């Protein structure tokens, strides 16, 4: 019968561990570690260096935990695949053009002539029409509700109950503003390129904007070409008038550049085009794509969503812009019981003129509350457009002094 001394085995094991550590400490390049085993050093020095090593190891462990926590919270990495992708990799951006003068005095006069009203109401109605600017610019608060109520009553008596139709009648139509259009070296009728749209700036004209919100058949336009002449060229007539009804108190055009699937709202990139000038807009695009490894992460880990993972009520494709737009629509309906006319996708009741005070009060707090109340994650894959602009004197032979050439 063989007896094994466990204490001796443990002693041999500890001796092996110590000799291994001693050999490592004497030969390692880690500063201070050799002083913990070096002969000829007094005890308190060894204790000091042991404490230094332990503090260093603790700090390294703490840093490791920090890096691990950072990785767990954001386990993705962004890198540039190429800076020379072809133009066909991204769609040509949507271009939405709005007249800064949102209410045209001459069209208001024409519209008033068609209304049946009492003689003493005509002057009140004439003063009330420009106040409809408050619908699209809540920074303009000089409205008189007594006059607006009379205007609403006159419009109702004349069977004008659709505020979007009324706004179209008192703003510049696209066929008048768009004089001449060129696309990819060819002259094309502007009506074939642009659609009438509603934005937070009122009635506008949009190119390559997928406004059929649930239509899966319409696709955005792509172009393989580069350069000024190959893009979109538009001769514009803003119809500058002596009286301007604009929140900017100036004349000209607002040009928004945005994703073809995104609602052209306050978040869109825009440039102001002056009347009587030739403006050049240089558009650059960046596309973010994700690997399949990112898709396998949870939404909480990647902190973004793919378009097919989130369903919107009105828009076919998810984007944080469209999500925030729908959230604003819901918020205004909860507050006022109706939605502004510039949300044409909505199936809810459209606000009339008497709702302007409620919209004024609610929209002022929307920007503050909307990001807190809405669950609109960023997109994992997205396209971003950037715009550089320059201007020159207008020398086009077909242009009038009040025109703007884009």
Q: pLDDT tens for residues 303-361?
A: 888 888 888 999 988 998 999 999 999 999 999 999 999 999 999 999 999 998 888 88
Please tell me the predicted confidence (pLDDT) of residue 402.
40
- For residue range 31-76, list pLDDT tens digits in order: 777 777 777 777 778 788 888 888 888 998 999 998 888 777 766 6
193 with 205: CB under 8 angstroms?
A: no
Please tell me the predicted confidence (pLDDT) of residue 141.
61
Residues 116 and 142 in one domain: yes
Rounded to whole angstroms, the Cα distance separating 76 from 158 reads 60
Please tell me the predicted confidence (pLDDT) of residue 298.
80
Domain that holds residue 51: 6-73
Rounded to whole angstroms, the Cα distance separating 18 from 20 reads 5
Residue 18 lies in a domain: yes
Residues 284 and 187 in one domain: yes
Write down the mean pLDDT value for the chain: 84
51 sits in which H/E element:
helix 43-73
What b/e readout covers 364-383, taking b as 16+ CB neighbours within 10 angstroms?
A: eebeeebeeebebbebbebb
Residues 373 and 266 in one domain: no
Q: Give the residue with greater pLDDT, 71 vs 261.
A: 261
Residue 80 lies in a domain: no
Residue 1 lies in a domain: no
Residues 54 and 150 in one domain: no
What is the sign of the dihedral through the CA atoms of 367, 373, 375 and 378? Answer: positive
Residues 97 and 112 in one domain: no
CATH of the domain at 228: 2.60.470.10
- Of 278, 316, 342, nearest to 137 (Cα)? 342
Number of domains within the chain: 4
Give the sheet arrangement for strand 194-199, strand by strand.
Answer: 194-199, 202-207, 94-99, 253-258, 269-273
Rounded to whole angstroms, the Cα distance separating 351 from 358 reads 10
**For residues 257-269, average pLDDT:** 90
Residues 97 and 111 in one domain: no
- For residue range 164-198, list pLDDT tens digits in order: 999 999 999 999 999 999 998 899 999 999 999 99
Residues 128 and 152 in one domain: yes
Residue 158 lies in a domain: yes
- For residue range 188-228, list pLDDT tens digits in order: 999 999 999 999 889 999 999 987 766 667 889 999 888 77
316 with 406: CB under 8 angstroms?
A: no
Rounded to whole angstroms, the Cα distance separating 34 from 356 reads 80
């Amino acid at each position: 019968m063989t007896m094994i001394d466990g204490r001796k085995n443990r002693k041999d094991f500890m001796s092996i561990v110590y000799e291994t550590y001693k050999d490592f400490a004497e030969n390692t390049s880690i500063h201070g570690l050799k002083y913990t085993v070096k002969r000829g050093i007094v005890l308190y020095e060894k204790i000091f260096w042991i404490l230094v090593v332990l503090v260093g190891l603790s700090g390294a462990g703490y840093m490791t935990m920090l890096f691990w926590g950072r990785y767990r919270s954001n386990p993705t990495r962004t890198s540039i695949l190429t800076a020379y992708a072809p133009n066909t990799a991204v769609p040509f951006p949507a271009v939405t053009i709005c007249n800064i003068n949102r209410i045209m005095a001459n069209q208001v006069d024409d519209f008033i002539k068609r209304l049946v009203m009492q003689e003493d109401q005509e002057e009140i109605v004439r003063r009330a029409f420009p106040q409809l600017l408050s619908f699209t610019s809540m920074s303009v608060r000089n409205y008189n509700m007594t006059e607006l109520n009379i205007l609403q009553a006159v419009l109702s008596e004349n069977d004008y109950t659709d505020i979007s139709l009324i706004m179209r009648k008192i703003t510049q139509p696209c066929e008048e503003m768009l004089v001449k259009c060129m696309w990819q070296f060819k002259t094309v009728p502007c009506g074939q390129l642009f659609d009438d749209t509603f934005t937070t700036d009122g009635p506008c004209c949009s190119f390559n904007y997928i406004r059929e919100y649930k239509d899966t058949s319409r696709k955005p336009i792509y172009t393989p070409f580069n350069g000024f002449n190959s893009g979109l060229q538009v001769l514009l007539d803003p119809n500058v008038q002596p009286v301007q009804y604009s929140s900017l108190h100036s004349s000209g055009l607002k040009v928004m550049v945005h994703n073809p699937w995104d609602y052209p709202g306050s978040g869109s990139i825009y440039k102001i085009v002056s009347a009587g000038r030739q403006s050049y807009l240089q558009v650059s695009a960046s596309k973010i794509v994700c690997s399949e490894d990112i898709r396998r992460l949870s939404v909480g880990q990647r902190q973004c969503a793919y378009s097919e993972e989130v369903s919107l009520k009105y828009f076919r494709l998810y984007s944080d812009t469209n999500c925030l737009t729908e959230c604003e629509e819901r918020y205004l309906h909860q507050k006022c019981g109706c939605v502004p006319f510039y949300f044409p996708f909505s199936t809810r009741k459209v606000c009339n003129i008497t709702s302007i005070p409620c919209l004024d009060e609610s929209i002022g707090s929307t920007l503050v509350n909307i990001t807190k109340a809405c669950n609109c994650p960023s997109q994992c894959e997205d396209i971003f457009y950037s715009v550089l602009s320059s201007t020159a004197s207008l020398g086009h032979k077909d242009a009038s002094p009040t025109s703007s050439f884009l």
